[in-house]
């Protein structure tokens, strides 16, 4: 019933569809990151982890390979063991390096941060194509940012949308917006190749006032979220990236997009029961 709503935010149901749509988006001047979301987002066994790794390897074997893949470490072995997650992430980093692609570790919530950072730390000196996602709303992120920052390192900075206790994270509002911009400034000052991953127009305006938009690697938004805003930045000549999910397990990407931009709940509700494909892609 909800699949029409999900298709507003999921680029394609399979790899072939992803590449077809990604080529179209790249022809319009966008960079496109790939994230695989299927078949069973909640599975944690070793067999499922291997399936996800193999899908990423096939993705990287396509022509043209995506310039960046987003990897959820919890889905490639972390639930089995940290060593399995490290080994599988290393396999992807090595394969991506051969294609000139980046592997950026995704991050949601605070539960697995230390383990994901440990995987990043273990690989980043061996593979310069490994990056990390940081969540601005978490109080610990200032320290984490200083730990991972360095010339040429890749960081994807998000606001953070997971529900966290007040002692762990800031809620949405001016304090979080200021922290996001402060973190962005800290990271680029240290030579980081930074993706500003936010659909917040006011935050991006603040970044422009601070001169950050000329210093970051790109402005990134999730597929289907504020395409008209990203289009305006692209038209202004700024590098713009679309983080695009593909796969049959659409529920998590839908929730993530709605959490990232709550007003889009109305769009999702409007899509319920529709048979036609959403036209989000036309907005780019």
- Does 248 belong to an annotated binding site? no
Nearest C-alpha neighbor of 123 from the set 80, 77, 83: 83
d(CA 187, CA 201): 20
**Other CB atoms within 10 A of residue 21 CB:** 18
3-state secondary structure of 13: coil
d(CA 48, CA 44): 6
Radius of gyration from C-alpha coordinates of the chain: 18
Write out the DSSP string of 73-132: GGGTTTTT-HHHHHHHHHHHHHHHHHTT-EEEE---SSTTHHHHHHHHHHHHTT-TTEEE
d(CA 171, CA 125): 34
- Which parts are annotated binding residues? 107, 135
- Which parts are annotated binding residues for FAD? 107, 135
């Amino acid at each position: 019933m909800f699949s029409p709503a999900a298709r507003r935010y999921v680029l394609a149901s399979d790899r072939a569809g992803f590449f077809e749509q990604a080529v179209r988006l790249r022809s319009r001047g966008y960079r496109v990151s790939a994230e695989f979301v299927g078949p069973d987002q909640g599975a944690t066994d070793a067999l499922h982890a291997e399936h996800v790794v193999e899908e990423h390897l096939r993705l990287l074997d396509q022509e043209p390979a995506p310039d960046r893949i987003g990897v959820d470490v919890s889905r490639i072995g972390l639930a089995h063991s940290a060593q399995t997650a490290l080994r599988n992430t290393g396999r992807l980093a090595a394969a991506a390096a051969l294609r000139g692609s980046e592997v950026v570790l995704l991050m949601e919530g605070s539960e697995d941060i230390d383990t994901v950072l440990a995987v990043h730390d273990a690989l980043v000196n061996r593979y310069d194509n490994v990056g990390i996602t940081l969540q601005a709303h978490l109080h610990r992120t200032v320290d984490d940012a200083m730990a991972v920052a360095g010339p040429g390192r890749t960081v994807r900075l998000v606001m953070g949308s997971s529900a966290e206790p007040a002692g762990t994270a800031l809620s949405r509002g001016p304090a979080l917006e200021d922290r996001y911009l402060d973190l962005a400034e800290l990271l680029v000052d240290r030579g980081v190749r930074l993706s500003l991953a936010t659909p917040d127009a006011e935050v991006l305006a603040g970044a422009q006032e601070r001169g950050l938009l000329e210093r970051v690697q790109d402005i990134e938004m999730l597929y289907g979220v504020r395409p008209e805003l990203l289009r305006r930045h692209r038209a202004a000549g700024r590098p713009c990236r679309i983080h695009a999910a593909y796969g049959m397990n659409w529920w998590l990407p839908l929730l993530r997009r709605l959490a990232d931009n709550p007003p889009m709940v109305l769009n999702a509700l409007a899509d319920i029961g529709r048979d036609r494909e959403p036209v989000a892609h036309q907005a780019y």
